[in-house]
Amino acid sequence: MPRRHGAASFLRKGIMDALELEVAKGIVEALNLQQVAPEGIDPTAPLFGEGLGLDSIDALELIVMLHRNYGIKIADAEIGKAAFASVGALAAFVRERRVT
Amino acid sequence: MNSPPCVITAASAVTSLGADVEAAWSGMMRNIRGIRPMQRLPRGRYRSDVAGEIPAELEAALEAPPGARVRRLALHAARQALRQAPGSRDRTGLVLATTKADIDGLGAALRGEIAQWPAHYDPAALAIDLAQALGLEGPVLAVSNACASGLVAVAQAARLLRRNDAERMLVVGVDVLHEFVLGGFSSLAALSPDPCRPFDANRTGLSLGEGAGAIALCREGSLAGTGLGVVRGWAVTNDAHHLTGPSPTGEGLQRALRGALAMAGMAPEAIDYINAHGTGTAYNDAMEMKAVAAVFGENAPPMTSMKGYFGHTLGACGVIELALCLKAMEQRTIPASMGLDSLDPGSALRIPAEHMPVPRLDAIISMKSGFGGVNAAVALTGMEAA
Amino acid sequence: MSDDIVITAWGFADARGFCGTRGARGVFGQDAAQWPEAFPEAFPRFGRLDPPCKLAMVAAELLGLKPPRDGVHADIGVSLGTRYGCLDADASFFATLWRPEGASPALFTYTLPSSSIAEVAIRYKLGGPNACFLAGEESGLTALWEGVRLVESGEARACVCLACDGVTPGTAAKTPGFDAPDAWEASAFLVEVSEYARARDRAPLAAVSIQCASDTETAADGDALSVLRACVQGGRDAALACPAALRRDEVLVVTAQR
């Protein structure tokens, strides 16, 4: 479990399935998040703004991650935003659009 | 807080529009855009295939010996400026502004194309080398503050003059294009596929450019001869908001504008023209419009971006565009904000899409912002203004 | 005199750990995973910073600055000196340029020597004048010098004078042909007008002023910033010679408060 966190809103509230956990790990790795355990992230919590507090650069980096890990190409960064609402939303997006 | 004014005695610029300020201005007045399909940079690989590259024939004719492109462009601009304003070189110093210095050398080294590490990848080494090549014996500094580097360098030069560390300072701003930079801005989704449209309601991002500019500054009263203009005030601030996104309210830029005006002892109403940063990205331009509206109010003077003509020249833009501001003052013409078709609805600002001859163009404020939240503003006037 | 310029805090970080006005910890090496321990609250975004920024943040944290409740500290500037700049980030980013999935935007944002200014400014809301100087081995001294000059001029009431370089054996591996030294350290000093410091309950560790060098002054030998650290910790005085590139026969006189 993550320790010493200020904003606890992203601590686990729901149970992750295997893909959600894999996506959470991909996020932590791609963004070099420290002191954040992938299994501890609430799959329904917002990723941007509040929650993990990711920003626009992170969104772009996640687009790169989706291409690398799943072969998904997102041309328009706006499509990415809806898919990035939470770990759960991102996993659903991956399930639908993955190539690899 | 006041500061003795600094006289600008020379100004030069080399851009995709030509080898000097005259060529750039002439191109601007004929509505020529130097942002063209890439020749040196690879097309079809990134989010834009157009840029303001220095054309090969212009490159070959530069007033500089063979060597790294960044050095050649800087020397060319610097020599032009020093010719315009001869003076003793032992009391002349140099401030260099650049974001990536010899990026060509870096790229070649990282690809294993050259065995020796490029010395001029280090801005400090490039600055010292330029000073030596130009015979300047005064203080030498290299500054790098993202896209505000040029104006930060002008402020730094003025600071050195204010404390009498030199009698004259040459400010040189230079950056060259490389796939490194193209790929980087592409990865940030900041590039416009078409030539940029600063302040346009449908703008889609920035166009990259390259070039060099040089300004010679001296303490008021220290040299006889005509000056091109007077730097009356400056300010450099930080938004302290986000690494690449400007503060939505333009708070830091507002403080920079107010600070420059305050140092100059000028009210916003005294300004005849605002030379914007105006990169053509959604966020930057929106931020600038907000900041200008907040500082200058309903009767804000006309504001334009020059980047539609030759692109965003990065560390060089502050100096290149300042040189062109001086030309605008001389010609009493506000250059059109090239690339503008229609403004954001609801914007009350005057951003002319046509060249604007004016009866009076004696006071200009130039502003530049950069990654990392830096904002810089410089207030200048013509020679006659008290 | 109320115009006196004083140093009220200092911070330092290198492979041995960090130390400064607000504490000390040892044995960190260059393993970035340990460095977030320098911060009182969790700092998950620490991992995004490039090596020089990480070091700069740790050194700056030791100054004990706090962001204001609202807005920014408009009167506190940042003066940064870096010799090797963003070399590590440049090499790291360049390696991603031709990946099938595309280049890394996060790495690109650090390919500017001035990144450390941004990170420190954002964390403590420092909105004042800022500049990044590159001056070879005198980069840190130049940043200090210009920071003192900035406060002296009134353009800022205080200035965080930072020096940082983050070059590791890992950098050497990415930069063939570059004799990458092991440069892994950051230094920070809080320079301010004494009246400003007094109003914020920050006691001076030393007074500083730039004066003409004279025969009776003894310019300090060795690394100027480590001499300055010795002054602010140990109560000794010193005179630091002006950076050579500024061509001035001047010294920064440091008078420790006892």
Q: Which residues of chain B have pLDDT under 50?
A: 386
Rounded to whole angstroms, the Cα distance separating B314 from B370 reads 9
Question: Is residue B277 annotated as part of the catalytic site, yes or no?
Answer: yes
pLDDT digits (tens, 9 = 90+) for C24-82: 887 666 765 567 677 877 777 888 888 899 999 999 999 999 999 999 999 999 999 99
Q: Torsion-angle region of residue C27: left (phi > 0), alpha (psi -120 to 50) or beta? A: left
Contacts of B361 (CB under 8 A, 6+ apart): B272, B273, B328, B329, B332, B333, B334, B382
Q: Can you give the pLDDT at residue A79?
A: 67
Side chain identity at residue C217, one-letter code? E
pLDDT digits (tens, 9 = 90+) for B96-107: 999 999 999 999
CB contact under 8 A, B188 and A60: yes
Residue C223 tokens read as 């690394």
Contacts of A68 in chain C (CB under 8 A): 99-101
Residues 62-81 of A with CB under 8 A from B: 64, 77
CB contact under 8 A, C175 and B239: no
Exactly one of B6, B76, B120, B147 is catalytic; which is it?
B147
CA distance B345 to chain C (A): 29
Rounded to whole angstroms, the Cα distance separating B72 from C254 reads 42
Give the pLDDT band of residue C220 (cuts 50, 70, 90). low
Q: Can you give the pLDDT at residue A8?
A: 47
Per the model's pLDDT, the better-predicted residue between C252 and C16 turns out to be C252
Residue B103 tokens read as 């990026």
pLDDT at C218 over 80: no
pLDDT at A14 over 90: no
What one-character DSSP code corresponds to residue B224?
Answer: -
CA distance A83 to chain C (A): 18
Instruction: Domains for chain A: give ranges and CATH numbers.
Output: 5-97 (1.10.1200.10)
pLDDT at C199 over 70: yes
B215 near C132, Cβ under 8 Å?
no
Give the pLDDT band of residue A1 (cuts 50, 70, 90). very low
Contacts of C48 in chain A (CB under 8 A): 31-32
Exactly one of B120, B178, B312, B317 is catalytic; which is it?
B312
CA distance B314 to chain A (A): 20
The burial class, CB within 10 Å (0-12 / 13-18 / 19+), for C211 is exposed
Q: Could you tell me which of C160, C134, C148, C19 has the C-alpha nearest to residue C79? A: C160
B369 near B288, Cβ under 8 Å?
yes
Nearest chain A residue to B243 by CA distance is A57
Rounded to whole angstroms, the Cα distance separating B220 from B228 reads 12
Q: How far apart, in Å, do the first and last CA atoms of chain C sit?
A: 17
Contacts of C42 in chain A (CB under 8 A): 2-6, 35
Q: How far apart, in Å, do the first and last CA atoms of chain B sit?
A: 18
CB contact under 8 A, C122 and B241: yes
Question: Is residue B120 annotated as part of the catalytic site, yes or no?
Answer: no
Q: What is the ipTM of this complex?
A: 0.97
Exactly one of B196, B277, B317, B325 is catalytic; which is it?
B277
CB contact under 8 A, B112 and C176: yes
Nearest chain B residue to A57 by CA distance is B188
Nearest chain A residue to C34 by CA distance is A34
Nearest chain B residue to A76 by CA distance is B189
Beta bridge partners of C6: C192, C207
